[in-house]
Amino acid sequence: MRRAKIIGTGMAVPPAVVDNHLLSRCMNTSDEWIVQRTGIKERRVSPDTYRMLLRLAEAPDKVAFMKQVFDQGLDGVIDSTLTVSDLALEASQMALERAGVTARELDCIIESSTVPDFAYPHTGCVLQGKFGLTSTPAFNLQQGCAGFIYGLAMADQFIRTGLYGRILVVGAELLSSMFDYTDRGRDMAVLFADGAGAVVLQAVEGGESGLISHHLHSDGTVLDGLAGEIYGSSTYPAISKKKIDEDRGRPRMNGRQVFVHAVRRFREVVGECLEANRMDVADIDLFIFHQANIRIIEAVAEALKIPFEKTYNNVERYGNTAAASVPICLHEALMGGRIKEGDLVLMAAFGTGFAWGASLLRW
């Protein structure tokens, strides 16, 4: 039977580390508050966000400084020194190298980012261009934190049907560029961060190793749970000074609502995946949940009676990197020897939309 197997993984995070203490010099928060509610101790951010935070921490009037940054950029400059496609490229190059294949040998690229380089063309194409490829099909998924799981499911179908033989699936995020790091944005700014993870999938015949099943869902009736209007036809014109002045450009989140939905949907989709494969928790060697908040993962593990040591977590070091979080965990778990040949790994993610899903694979 033809199936898709992961033959290489990779990740990339920017070098700048922002701990909770630096954030508490910018806004009214504390290491204790953030660790207790989320489990996050530090996160990686782009060089631009890092420079901005160092300046904000020293600024006597933080609101005025942040407003100036939103109005004029940092020191009047609005071009980023690192974009999301740069991170995607770095993670992809590592995955390709580990797979022993070149970008030219890819049949397709599926990329997922919440905040793209540009509204259009999409980041899959930008990434493809950075590889110097001129005809490989490239997709972009906007499934938020669930993007990588949706990408894996799509890639698996392309491979099973025989359309493609080798596909790069990437989840990359540069979320720190969106937030107001004063009190006004503190509910979201402490959670999200930057990073990328990638896998190379290849068609294999026979054997047990490879992707087994995917379970995808979305619920578009709760759009306000987690949303960003940044640019879009929900306003006319799609982008205007008025939109920015009314603060409708920035992301918004109902933290409690997201928390409750996330726990419920994780429970359901893990149950669905296990049932579809006639397995139970004891059959799974490792659970990789999207790293939004350690309390969400603890609640799901408790409800499903998953021993916590069977979960792989790094939210403490990277915060919530949305579409990048599952592939970063997968890469780290592999490198750290947490996944061995023959292991069953169940990955699940939940995010904006809401959109959520689970994928099961045998390593």
What are the catalytic residues?
145, 290, 320
Q: Which span (88-96, 151-159, 161-169, 187-195) binds ligand ACO, by CB under 6 A? A: 187-195
Question: Which residue among 16, 258, 273, 301 contacts ligand ACO (CB under 6 A)?
Answer: 258
**Whether the bond into 15 is cis, omega within 30 of 0:** no
Residue 112 in the binding site for ligand ACO (CB under 6 A):
no
How far, in Å, CA of 85 to CA of 28, rounded? 32
Q: Which C-beta is closer to ligand ACO: that of 7 or that of 304?
A: 304
Residue 148 in the binding site for ligand ACO (CB under 6 A):
no
How far, in Å, CA of 68 to CA of 59, rounded? 12
Q: Which C-beta is closer to ligand ACO: that of 143 or that of 320?
A: 320
Cβ contact 313:279 at 8 Å: no
Q: Which span (97-105, 147-155, 240-248, 254-262) binds ligand ACO, by CB under 6 A? A: 254-262
Residue 231 in the binding site for ligand ACO (CB under 6 A):
no
Cβ contact 353:143 at 8 Å: yes
How far, in Å, CA of 322 to CA of 346, rounded? 17
Residue 149 in the binding site for ligand ACO (CB under 6 A):
no
Residue 320 in the binding site for ligand ACO (CB under 6 A):
yes
Question: Which residue among 293, 313, 321, 359 contacts ligand ACO (CB under 6 A)?
Answer: 293
Q: How far is the CB of 248 from ligand ACO (least distance, A)?
A: 19
How far, in Å, CA of 258 to CA of 263, rounded? 9
Handedness of CA 72, 75, 79, 85 (dihedral sign): negative
Residue 226 in the binding site for ligand ACO (CB under 6 A):
yes
Q: Which span (110-118, 167-175, 230-238, 248-256) binds ligand ACO, by CB under 6 A? A: 248-256
Residue 268 in the binding site for ligand ACO (CB under 6 A):
no
Q: Which of residues 41-100 bind ligand ACO (CB under 6 A)?
A: none
The residue at minimum Cβ distance from ligand ACO is: 255
Give the number of residues in contact with ligand ACO, rule: CB under 6 A: 22
Q: How far is the CB of 32 from ligand ACO (least distance, A)?
A: 9
Cβ contact 95:182 at 8 Å: no
Alpha helices for the chain (secondary structure H) = 20-26, 31-38, 47-58, 62-72, 84-99, 123-130, 147-160, 186-189, 241-245, 255-276, 294-304, 315-318, 325-335
**Residue 160, C-beta contacts closer than 8 angstroms, at least 6 positions apart:** 2, 3, 4
Q: Which C-beta is closer to ligand ACO: that of 33 or that of 231?
A: 33
Q: How far is the CB of 27 from ligand ACO (least distance, A)?
A: 7
Query: How far, in Å, are 163, 232, 353 from residue 219 at the CA level?
Result: 30, 20, 6
Q: Is 57 exposed, middle or buried (0-12, 13-18, 19+ CB in 10 A)?
A: middle
**Whether the bond into 354 is cis, omega within 30 of 0:** yes
Residue 37 in the binding site for ligand ACO (CB under 6 A):
yes
Q: Which span (10-18, 32-40, 173-181, 272-280) binds ligand ACO, by CB under 6 A? A: 32-40
Cβ contact 139:111 at 8 Å: yes
Residue 31 in the binding site for ligand ACO (CB under 6 A):
no
Question: Which residue among 78, 220, 236, 256 contacts ligand ACO (CB under 6 A)?
Answer: 256
Amino acid at 183: D
Q: How far is the CB of 35 from ligand ACO (least distance, A)?
A: 11
Cβ contact 79:48 at 8 Å: no
Binding site for ligand ACO (CB under 6 A): 29, 33, 37-38, 145, 186-187, 190-191, 226, 253, 255-256, 258-259, 262, 290, 292-293, 320, 350-351
